Amino acid sequence: MRYEGNVFRPPSEAYSLIVQVTIGCAHNKCTFCGMYKNEKFRVRDLAEVVEDLKLARAYYNKVERIFLADGDALCLSFDRLRNILTEIKAIFPECERVGIYATPKDIMRKTMEELRELKNLGLGILYMGLESGSDEILTAVKKGVTAQEAIEAGRKAVESGLKLSVTVISGLGGRAKWREHAIRTGQVLSAMDPHYIGLLTLMLVDGTEMKRQVDQGEVELLAPEEVMRETRLMFENTNVTNCIFRSNHASNYVSLRGTLPQDKESLIRGIDRILAGGCHFKQEIFRAL
Ligand code: SF4
């Protein structure tokens, strides 16, 4: 396979074939994100993408999952995505699921019929970064979307039949806004009712605006215990119907997992045990993005 720049994928796509259909992120403005800061966004030629698929076919006997990178590849036009998924179906008939990163705006730009057709062609899961349910925090981190827009996009994705995985970042509002972050994020997740929630913990990346804000004292990072309190408050405000929750990312101080709503109380009790000193937090040197 040929890759350009840094290639990122969700943890659950660790065993997927990663195919870059875009380079970089079309938004590329979030203050905490350094993933594609050095990449100039562009759409890859379809011919190049198909060449990559054929190269991979020659190399792998069986490919069950494919992830379309980079940062927000659902920004591609419906026609381009349809062409890519059609090629995947022809080249990898055994492929069970195609995944893709999607911003709320990417989802809203597609009609319901288009999303359903993409699903019929093999698109299985959208990974959407909510990051926070607080409009104040979304504006501060330049996410380019409101909480209401994120809810509408999330609902639309779920109603189209696609799986929706939503990422949230602990500590994104700093000490000043941890309560607001926890409560509003729980409320927005409840309104979206996704299939998966992934909780990361804020890590500072060199060269980002967030790093500068922390260095200059404009934003105060949460200590691990404060992250736990924030997560607890978020759980209290999260009412979803059937959702797998994971905070097992390398950035997290503690790994939590469960299915909501049935494990909500045990997750909260687990956090209480952690806060009572029943667990060691991951050391900073072992945290990573
Ligand atoms: S967080 Fe996502 S949308 Fe924001 S700049 Fe990074 S890749 Fe782009």
Please give the distance, rounded to the nearest whole angstrom, from the Cα atom of residue 143 to the centre of ligand 1. Answer: 8
Domain membership of residue 99 as a residue range = 11-286
5, part of any domain: no
Summarised one tens digit per residue, pLDDT across range 214-254 is 999 999 999 999 999 999 999 999 999 999 999 988 888 99
Q: How far is CA 72 from CA 7, 21, 26, in A?
A: 12, 10, 7
Q: Which residues line ligand 1 (CB under 6 A)?
A: 25, 27-30, 33, 35-36, 71-72, 103, 129
Is 185 within the bounds of a domain?
Answer: yes
State the average pLDDT over residues 34-51: 94
In 181-274, DSSP assigns E strands to 196-201, 243-246, 257-260
Nearest-angstrom CA–CA distance, 130 and 184: 11
How many domains does one find in the chain? Answer: 1
Q: Going by CA atoms, what residue is nearest to atom 3 of ligand 1?
A: 27
Kindly report, residue by residue over 218-228, the tens digit of the pLDDT: 999 999 999 99
Helix axes 224-236, 178-192, angle to 10 degrees: 40
For residue 4, being part of any structural domain is answered with: no
Q: In this structure, what token pair is assigned to residue 49?
A: 């993408």
Choose which residue among 7, 23, 27 to substitute to test ligand 1 binding: the one with the highest number of ligand atoms within 8 A of its C-beta. Answer: 27
DSSP run (H or E) holding 168: strand 163-170
Q: Which atom of ligand 1 is nearest to the CA of 32?
A: 1
How far apart are alpha carbons 168 and 222 in whole angstroms? 15
Tokens of 260: 């909501």
Whether 3 is in a domain gets the answer: no
Q: Which atom of ligand 1 is nearest to the CA of 25?
A: 8
Q: Is residue 256 situated within a structural domain?
A: yes
Residues 6+ apart with CB under 8 A from 102: 72, 73, 74, 126, 127, 128, 153, 157
Query: Which CATH number goes with the domain that contains 225?
Result: 3.20.20.70
Q: Is residue 210 part of a domain?
A: yes
Q: What residue owns the CA closest to ligand 1's atom 2?
A: 71
Q: Rounded mean pLDDT of 196-203?
A: 96
Q: Which two tokens stand for residue 283?
A: 């050391």
